[in-house]
A and B are shown apart, each in its own frame.
Chain A
Amino acid sequence: MRKSFMPFAPRLIAILILSLSGLAARAELVIEITKGVGQRTPVAIVPFGWEGSDAGAPLDVARVIAADLERSGRFDAIDEKDMLQKPTTGVEVDFDDWAILGVEAVVVGKLTQTGDNAYSLQFQLFDVFKRQQLVGYRMPASRGTMRIAAHRAADMIYEKLTGIPGVFGTQVAYVTSKGQDRDKTYTLVVSDADGENENTIMESRDPIMSPAWSPDSRRLAYVSFEGNQSSIFVQTLRTGNRVKVSSLPGINGSPAFSPDGRKLVLTLGGVDGNLDIHILDLSTRELTRLTTNRSIDTEGSWSPDGRQIYFTSDRSGGPQIYRIGINGGDPERITFEGSYNARPRLSPDGSKLALVHLDRGNYRIGVLDMARKELLIVSTGNQDESPSFAPNSDSLIYATRQGRNGVLETVSADGLVRSRLASGQSDVREPVWSPFPRY
Chain B
Amino acid sequence: MKISNWVLAAFLALGLAACSKNTIPDPDTTSDGSMVGGNDASTGGYGSDGMGAGESFGDEMATDDEMAMVIYFDFDESELRPEYTDLLARHATHLANNPRVNARLEGHADERGSREYNIGLGERRSQTVRRMLLIQGASANQISTVSFGEERPAAFGSDEESYTLNRRVEIKYTQ
Residues of A near any B CB (own CB < 8 A):
144, 181-183, 185, 190, 199-207, 209-210, 224-230, 235-242, 249-251, 253-254, 267, 269, 271-273, 275, 296, 298-299, 312, 314, 319, 340, 342-343, 356, 358, 363, 383, 385-386, 401, 404, 429-430
Contact = CB atoms under 8 A, between A and B. Distances in A.
A401 B44 contact: no
Interface in B138-175: 140, 144-149, 151-152, 156, 158, 172
A203 B49 contact: no
Contacts of A275: 119-120, 123
Given A363-B112, A386-B115, A230 B43 contact: no
B151 A250 contact: no
Interface string B104-139: 101000011111110111011011001000000000
Contact of A229 (B37, B49, B53): B37
A267 B53 CA distance: 29
Given A227-B35, A383-B112, A201 B43 contact: yes
B169 to A, nearest CB: 12
A200 B64 CA distance: 29
Pairs of residues from A and B, 4 with the lowest C-beta to C-beta distance, nearest first: A227-B37, A240-B45, A296-B120, A204-B41
Interface stretch (B8-16, B54-62, B89-97): B54-62
Nearest to A178: B56
Given A181-B156, A202-B43, A275-B123, A230 B146 contact: yes
Contacts of B56: 185, 203-205
A358 B41 CA distance: 35
Nearest to B174: A228
A240 B114 contact: no
B114 A203 contact: no
Q: Considering residues A201, A228, A312, which has the most beta carbons from chain B within 10 angstroms of its beta carbon?
A: A228
Contacts of B61: 182-183, 205
Contact of A226 (B41, B63, B106): B41
A385 B115 contact: yes
A254 B160 CA distance: 28
B6 to A, nearest CB: 25
Q: Considering residues A190, A209, A401, which has the most beta carbons from chain B within 10 angstroms of its beta carbon?
A: A209
Contacts of A250: 123, 145-146
Given A230-B146, A273-B124, A383-B158, A199 B53 contact: yes
B36 interface: yes
Contacts of B147: 230, 251, 269, 273
Interface string B58-84: 100101100000000000000000000
A269 B41 contact: no
Contacts of A383: 111-112, 158
Given A296-B121, A356-B113, A228 B106 contact: yes
Given A144-B48, A238-B47, 15 more contacts: A202-B43, A205-B61, A226-B40, A227-B37, A228-B36, A239-B45, A251-B146, A267-B120, A273-B130, A275-B120, A275-B123, A296-B120, A314-B120, A342-B113, A343-B114
